[in-house]
Every structure is written in structure tokens, then in C-alpha cells.
A and B are shown apart, each in its own frame.
Chain A
Amino acid sequence: QKEVEQNSGPLSVPEGAIASLNCTYSDRGSQSFFWYRQYSGKSPELIMFIYSNGDKEDGRFTAQLNKASQYVSLLIRDSQPSDSATYLCAVPSGWTFGSGTQLTVLP
């Protein structure tokens, strides 16, 4: 059983909308969570990490963590076509990655 699950998508949103990406995890001991963005043919790049319950904001990106529900999400406000990529959720426990959600932002 994979420890990290993501909706595989694809997810399409219009430009300027909020994109919501979700991730659930099975290891209740997980303390930190990471979101990576991967453009087609490129390597993953870290965009955010979160350790505490609640929200963490960085520019247009907001990570939300709910440890009781074992749920972490990434919100992208004012989505731009340049945000079109695959988004990966990861936990350090065994360095397990979700399969990724492909996001397309339509102009």
C-alpha cells in the first residue's frame, strides 16, 4: 500500500482561478510534508514544505496541513499558464512520493 496518495488528475483550471491539489498519507508519525513541481522533461523542484497544522503561505502558494485527517493540500491562487506542471507530494518517511497531479492552467 502506497503511503502517499494523490489525485492523478489531470486537473484543468482557467487562468486566474484557484487550483487545489490534495494529498493523503498513511504514516501518522509523519511530521513534515513537501510539495514539488515538475515540468515535463525536467527534474522536480521544491516549492513548499510544512511542518505544523494549519496554513503556510508563500506568495501565490498556500500549503494546508491537517494531521488529524492525515491530509495535506496545496492551493495556487491566481493560477497562471506557467503553473502548468505535475505537482508531487512527499513525506520524509522512506522519502515516499505521491504519483503526482498534472495541472493545466488554461489561458
Chain B
Amino acid sequence: DAGITQSPRHKVTETGTPVTLRCHQTENHRYMYWYRQDPGHGLRLIHYSYGVKDTDKGEVSDGYSVSRSKTEDFLLTLESATSSQTSVYFCAISVGEGYEQYFGPGTRLTVT
């Protein structure tokens, strides 16, 4: 257990509505990540953060934004949810400078 929590754990929302997912860590790790996991695609990086207010895009960042105003919290926002964003979302932290990652429990998001 790397002290990572995600909220909500499950969410159903309608197309066009904004959605924010929260990742919270208790150990002041510098690096935090957001992934989505879909059948046939494995884990794909959406955005990552290397410090407070320091974020960068990953492989599949279109339609997503992130914010990190405190070390312990990394928020993922879908400004206007689409059905293609139905997925399982995982947050991760990295121990050390970009080395091994540890994952949160995940959020299952369904966009109807």
C-alpha cells in the first residue's frame, strides 16, 4: 500500500458533463501520474506531474486537464465527458526520480 487513494471509486455520468477525479497521496512523493486502462490498449499515460503546479502531457491527453495545487493531491478533469472516455482510471506515484511506480485502487468511470 503506497498510501494512495482515489475518489470516487465508481462514477456514472452523462455525455457533456464535467467530471473531476481525485488522487491523494500521504507520503509527499514528487511524481504523480494519471493513466486510463481499456481492453486491448493496456495502460496509457494521460498526464503526469513532477511537482506542485508542474504538469505535462502524456500519450492520450486530449480531452483531459490536470491540476496540482498541493503535493498530496493530483486532480484529473474531463471538461465535457464523452462516451470514449468510459474507462478505468488509475493514479500512480513514483518513488525516486522516475523509478518504480505504485498505483492507486482505480476509478471506474462510465459516460452514458
Question: How many angstroms between the C-alpha atoms of A100 and B105 in the bound complex?
Answer: 18
Q: Which chain B positions have C-beta within 8 A of A92? A: 98-99
Would A95 and B41 be within 8 Å (CB), given that A43-B90, A43-B106, A44-B90 are in contact? no
Question: How many angstroms between the C-alpha atoms of A90 and B37 in the bound complex?
Answer: 14
Count of inter-chain pairs, beta carbons less than 8 A: 44
A49 within 8 A of B: yes
Question: How many angstroms between the C-alpha atoms of A103 and B43 in the bound complex?
Answer: 18
Classify chain A's interface size. Answer: 10 to 19
Question: How many angstroms between the C-alpha atoms of A24 and B99 in the bound complex?
Answer: 20
Q: Which chain A positions have C-beta within 8 A of B59? A: 94, 96
Whether A32 lies near B99 (C-beta < 8 A) is yes
A97 within 8 A of B: yes
Question: How many angstroms between the C-alpha atoms of A62 and B70 in the bound complex?
Answer: 39
Q: Which chain A positions have C-beta within 8 A of B33? A: 95
B58-72 CB mask vs A (1 if < 8 Å, else 0) is 110000000000000
Residues of A within 8 A of B (CB): 32, 34, 42-46, 49, 88, 90, 92, 94-100
Residues of B within 8 A of A (CB): 33, 40-45, 48, 58-59, 90, 98-106
Q: 27 interchain pairs (CB within 8 A)?
A: A32-B99, A34-B100, A42-B105, A42-B106, A43-B103, A43-B104, A43-B105, A43-B106, A44-B90, A44-B103, A45-B103, A46-B102, A49-B99, A49-B100, A90-B43, A92-B98, A94-B45, A94-B59, A95-B33, A95-B45, A95-B101, A96-B59, A97-B42, A98-B42, A99-B40, A99-B41, A99-B42
